[in-house]
Amino acid sequence: MPLTSSDVKRIAHLARIEITEAETEHTLGQLNGIFKLIEQLQSVDTTGIEPMSHPLGGGQRLREDVAIDHPDRDAIMKNAPASQDGLFLVPRVIE
Amino acid sequence: MNWEVVIGLETHAQLSTQSKIFSGASTAFGAAPNTQASVIDVALPGSLPVLNKGAVERAIRFGLAIGATINRRSIFARKNYFYPDLPKGYQISQFEIPVVQGGKIAIVSPTRGEIAIQLTRAHLEEDAGKSLHEDFHGMSGIDLNRAGTPLLEIVSEPEMSSADEAVAYAKALHSLVRWIDICDGNMQEGSFRCDANVSVRRPGAPLGTRREIKNLNSFRFLQQAIEYEIKWQIETLEDGGKIQQATVLFDPDSGQTRVMRLKEDAHDYRYFPDPDLLPLELSDEWLEEVQAHMPLLQEEVSGKFMNEYDLTPYQARTLTSSRELAEYFESAARDSDSKVAQLCANWISGNLSAQLNEEDLDISQSRISAVQLRGLAERIADGTISGKMAKEVFDVMWAGEGSADEIIERKGLKQISDAGAIGKIVDTVIAANAQQVADYKAGKEKAFNSLVGQVMKASQGKANPGQVNEILKKKLG
């Protein structure tokens, strides 16, 4: 299933990555290479094998439901380019 | 020609945990902005999620309550989209293998009677933060306190055929999540919100194109939005138009829905298993332990009320609308005879509920305890006070002036049920009202009522009205 350059542009847009024409063509070649590998993998007969979501064995460890984390807002806010009244400020977004 | 309506609901129930689903920050509502946003919730690089046992346990409780399959192994997935109140750039959710699959919710449909709505699935996920669009010098403000709050997204099959059924389902679900104590159900605070998928078709035709109404946070809006949407879709089709798949918002002011985005702009979420979280594995031992701590369910309690206290199905349903109400009724009616239990049921769903509504209180805040109410019911049952006096006792009791017996004593409200005493008053009234006695004997029923009124007045309202009727009739021959 070869991708086209418009697929690449769409994926870049979904990830909010700006991409030039030259980069689009370059990325297209790389992605199609990956697709070829996946096609190869898909030709293997996996009948009767349980799908694996993670390469590690075992299950998720759980945490007791206790509120033990008391965030230091001022410290966290120091990472923000802009803030006001305890809020992070971002370019105006209204969907 | 007829149209058939097809509705499915997706409901987000905020789980009532102390801490977030993947971090140890508090979930308490109303804190100052970003004071409950931990490094995990604001997605600082290197921070990793750790799953909250309390959130998983609540999902299990839900699965058990609706008779669903609880998957012994489920997978967390990343749902990728770009929005400032989602700092990681993805929401952790469940996709291919959710924790709960199937199950059903019983509802009473106004047109189809008692039916069961099948559920597709219920999965665990985290909530996003909040964007505030008031003007911050042309920028938007982001509060991440809500980010990471645990949600159970409950998806129904498209089996509802009217706004009434959708509301009945949403109410049944709302009352269930509160009953099993997994969600506080506070709709104003957004703890329980619904998305409705609505389509119409000709009977027997394949499913029509659906539109999804987002974020309905009251039953009234759910009803209005679906009704408007059905009307709009039918009119559009009858005018020869086509329905385009879309996500729409309901505007309560205009009562209309408007398009938020069309299918072409629909999000492409690019789900994949979250490598930061291993599969969620549930042991049989844990499931059994959770099962052992489940309360009796609504239908079970309601059945018990009908058997033990002779309540009607309607009374039983009303009194099991919340666990607190059911417990109140039980502590009032426990070990009493069916007459007292009936009186308790009627007073709870009547005067008490009205009083609570009027002061915007819930049953746990009632100024009259279950024991006090029972005391009142007993004095009505044994004829000490009339219904009218009982209302007076109730009001005084609500004002905090003690038990029924104390109030009856203090206010001298005891009903006169002594036939001899009532007989004497009746004799006096008959002697003093010859004209009315004659009128009654001439067939004027009205005259009788007037004589009853005179007797009641002479007894200062204390005579037992039933006995007054009986004795007066006898004496007038």
Domain assignment of residue A39, yes or no: yes
pLDDT at residue number B414: 77
Tell whether B113 and B133 lie within a shared domain. Answer: yes
The three-state secondary structure class of B378 is: helix
Residues of B in Cβ contact (< 8 Å) with A66: 18-19, 24
pLDDT at residue number B260: 85
Tell whether B191 and B215 lie within a shared domain. Answer: yes
Residues of A in Cβ contact (< 8 Å) with B138: 92
Domain assignment of residue B391, yes or no: yes
pLDDT at residue number B265: 63
Residues of A in Cβ contact (< 8 Å) with B277: 60
Instruction: Check B42 against A95: CB less than 8 A apart.
Output: no
Rounded Cα–Cα distance for residues A58 and A26 (Å): 39
Instruction: Check A14 against B268: CB less than 8 A apart.
Output: yes
Domain assignment of residue B211, yes or no: yes
The three-state secondary structure class of B278 is: coil
User: Which of the 8 DSSP states describes residue A71?
Assistant: -
In angstroms, the separation between the Cα of residue B119 and the nearest Cα of chain A is 25
In angstroms, the separation between the Cα of residue B235 and the nearest Cα of chain A is 28
In chain A, positions 14-43, which contact chain B (CB-CB < 8 Å)?
Answer: 14-16
Domain assignment of residue A63, yes or no: no
Q: Which of B336, B406, B401, B344 is nearest to B370 (CA)?
A: B344
Q: Which residue on chain A is closest to B134 by alpha carbon?
A: A92
Domain assignment of residue A73, yes or no: no
Give the number of other CB atoms < 10 A from CB of residue B127. 22
Tell whether B423 and B404 lie within a shared domain. Answer: no
Are the C-beta atoms of residues B6 and A53 closer than 8 Å to each other?
A: no
Tell whether B374 and B437 lie within a shared domain. Answer: no
Residue at which a domain ends, from B237, B255, B285: B285
pLDDT at residue number A1: 58
pLDDT at residue number A16: 84
Domain assignment of residue A8, yes or no: yes
Domain assignment of residue B314, yes or no: yes
Instruction: Check A63 against B50: CB less than 8 A apart.
Output: yes
Q: Report the CATH number that the domain containing residue A24 is assigned in CATH.
A: 1.10.20.60
> Which CA distances in Å does B440 have to B276, B463, B477?
90, 21, 11
Nearest to A69 among B17, B23, B131 (CB): B23
Domain assignment of residue B71, yes or no: yes
Residues of A in Cβ contact (< 8 Å) with B18: 65-67
Instruction: Return the structure tokens found at B329.
Output: 């009724």
Domain assignment of residue B291, yes or no: no
Tell whether B238 and B325 lie within a shared domain. Answer: no
Residue at which a domain ends, from B360, B391, B411: B411
Instruction: Check B141 against A89: CB less than 8 A apart.
Output: yes
Is A68 touching B (CB cutoff 8 A)? yes
Q: What's the number of domains chain B is made of?
A: 3
Tell whether B357 and B436 lie within a shared domain. Answer: no
Domain assignment of residue A28, yes or no: yes
Domain assignment of residue B399, yes or no: yes
Domain assignment of residue A58, yes or no: no
Domain assignment of residue A6, yes or no: yes
Are the C-beta atoms of residues B17 and A65 closer than 8 Å to each other?
A: yes
Tell whether B324 and B396 lie within a shared domain. Answer: yes
- pLDDT < 50 positions in chain B: none
Q: Report the CATH number that the domain containing residue B434 is assigned in CATH.
A: 1.10.10.410
Q: Please, what is the average pLDDT of chain A?
A: 90
In angstroms, the separation between the Cα of residue B145 and the nearest Cα of chain A is 10
Domain residues for A30?
A: 1-44
Q: Which residue on chain B is closest to A94 by alpha carbon?
A: B133
Nearest to A87 among B132, B273, B275 (CB): B132
B236-273 CB burial, b ≥16 within 10 A, e <16 = ebeeeeebeebbbbbeeeeeebeeeeeeeeeeebeeeb
pLDDT at residue number B264: 64
Domain assignment of residue B290, yes or no: no
Best to test chain A binding among B58, B142, B181 (most A CBs inside 10 Å):
B142
In angstroms, the separation between the Cα of residue B195 and the nearest Cα of chain A is 17
Domain assignment of residue B203, yes or no: yes
Is A12 touching B (CB cutoff 8 A)? no
pLDDT at residue number B266: 63
Nearest to B42 among A65, A67, A76 (CB): A76
Tell me which residue has tokens 């697709």: A35
Tell whether B186 and B240 lie within a shared domain. Answer: yes
Tell whether B314 and B182 lie within a shared domain. Answer: no
Tell whether B265 and B324 lie within a shared domain. Answer: no
Is A88 touching B (CB cutoff 8 A)? yes
Instruction: Check B136 against A56: CB less than 8 A apart.
Output: no
Residues of B in Cβ contact (< 8 Å) with A52: none
Kindly provide the ipTM of the predicted complex, given to two decimals. Answer: 0.89
Domain residues for B310?
A: 296-411
Q: What's the number of domains chain A is made of?
A: 1
Instruction: Return the structure tokens found at B369.
Output: 């305890």
Domain assignment of residue A20, yes or no: yes
